[in-house]
Amino acid sequence: MKINKILLLVSTYFIFIINTSYGSTFEDWKKEFKILALSKGISENTFKKVMKNAKFLPKVIEYDRYQPEFYEDTKTYISKRTSKKKVRSGLNYYKNNMEIINLIDKNFNIEKELLLALMGIETNFGSYLGKMDIISSLSTLSFDKRRSKFFTNELLTVLKLIDQGIVDPNILYGSWAGAFGNFQFMPSTIEKYAIDYNNNNLIELKNNSDSFASAANYLNKMGWKKNEPCFKKVTLKSDVPKKILNTSARKIKYQKKLKHYKKYISEDLDYDDNVKIAIITPDAEIVDKANINDPAYIVFQNYELILKWNRSLRFGLAVCTLKEKFRNEL
């Protein structure tokens, strides 16, 4: 673990060296980004006010390269995020906010258990929203070359939201990746799906009404099917073709009707033979010398929608697992 952290620090240093070798320091990048932002309609006043204190944050690069989705096996990842303590915290949170959560469930047709699960995994029910300066985080990741285009667009979007008076720049503290609020929305998600549910002319994703309504609106617009399955853990037979096993969350492939895959699954499954599923084996790309067939899961449409929230096989499994634990208690 210590060696990995040293390598990350070295790589962060070389990111800065590589960029500067092309004549592009962080300050050079800010000048170039200003030209782009103004060309996209961002006012000079907003740019100056918001970007004047933007800094390059080496820690952000370290976090980007060492996400738990990249190194924890599935059992460890899920157990950490769906513990008895997590369930108790969620039940207490629901008890104290029952009225608004039930109203959102009813109005958006999204299970309260799913909303609690997402909030619990993202921010531990609002108790850890992140302390990173979002503008500096997004600026750092835009300056970095790994996913520069994506984070440049996110930074432009948050500047636009500030310019329009939709988001207060003074409270923009969140995750290292630029996510914000109780459900950790990226700026592009705020722009498309966030709701001013309490009608105060601001989108406040750190309060319950706006944040729960925005999360439910997102899931509803994505096509979440209430009370339909998410995944099922299965045992695969040894003759299962390796090509049909999804080991990456980038794109779930080989989706077919269940009846085509039943011959490769040991258990008897109580689902419609015509329901579309895919098979995932999430440890194959993470764990050294992993058994590619174990653990294995069949996943349904709802699971794929969770991946649009966070493109990690383990994240999707953890959310759906915690959701079911809440369902058993509520």
Residue 295, preceding peptide bond in cis (omega within 30° of 0): yes
CATH number at residue 44: 1.10.8.350
How crowded is residue 131: how many other Cβ atoms within 10 Å of its Cβ?
9
**Cα 74 to the chain's mean position, in Å?**
17
Count of structural domains within the chain: 2
Q: Phi/psi of residue 245, each to 5°?
A: -90, 125
Domain-embedded: residue 109: no
> What dihedral do alpha carbons 281, 283, 286, 288 form, nearest 10°?
-120
Domain-embedded: residue 79: no
Domain-embedded: residue 72: no
Q: Do 175 and 241 share a domain, yes or no? A: no
Q: Do 35 and 139 share a domain, yes or no? A: yes
Domain-embedded: residue 113: no
Question: Which residue has 């460890």 as its token pair?
Answer: 76
Render each residue's pLDDT in the chain as its tens digit; 330 residues.
Answer: 444 444 444 444 444 444 443 348 999 999 999 999 999 999 999 999 999 999 999 999 998 887 665 668 899 999 999 999 999 999 999 999 999 999 999 999 999 999 999 999 999 999 999 999 999 999 999 999 888 999 999 999 999 999 999 888 888 999 999 999 999 999 999 999 999 999 988 889 999 999 999 999 999 999 999 999 999 999 999 999 999 999 988 889 999 999 999 999 999 999 999 999 999 999 887 766 667 788 999 999 999 999 999 989 999 999 999 999 999 999
Domain boundary residue among 180, 198, 219? 180
Q: Do 19 and 147 share a domain, yes or no? A: yes
**Residue 221 one-letter amino acid:** K
Would you give the DSSP letter of residue 244?
G
Query: For residue 278, what are the domain limits?
Result: 231-329
Decide the pairing of beta strands 231-234 and 256-257.
unpaired
Q: Do 163 and 258 share a domain, yes or no? A: no
Closest CA to 116 of 131, 101, 99: 101
Q: Is the pTM of this model over 0.95?
A: no
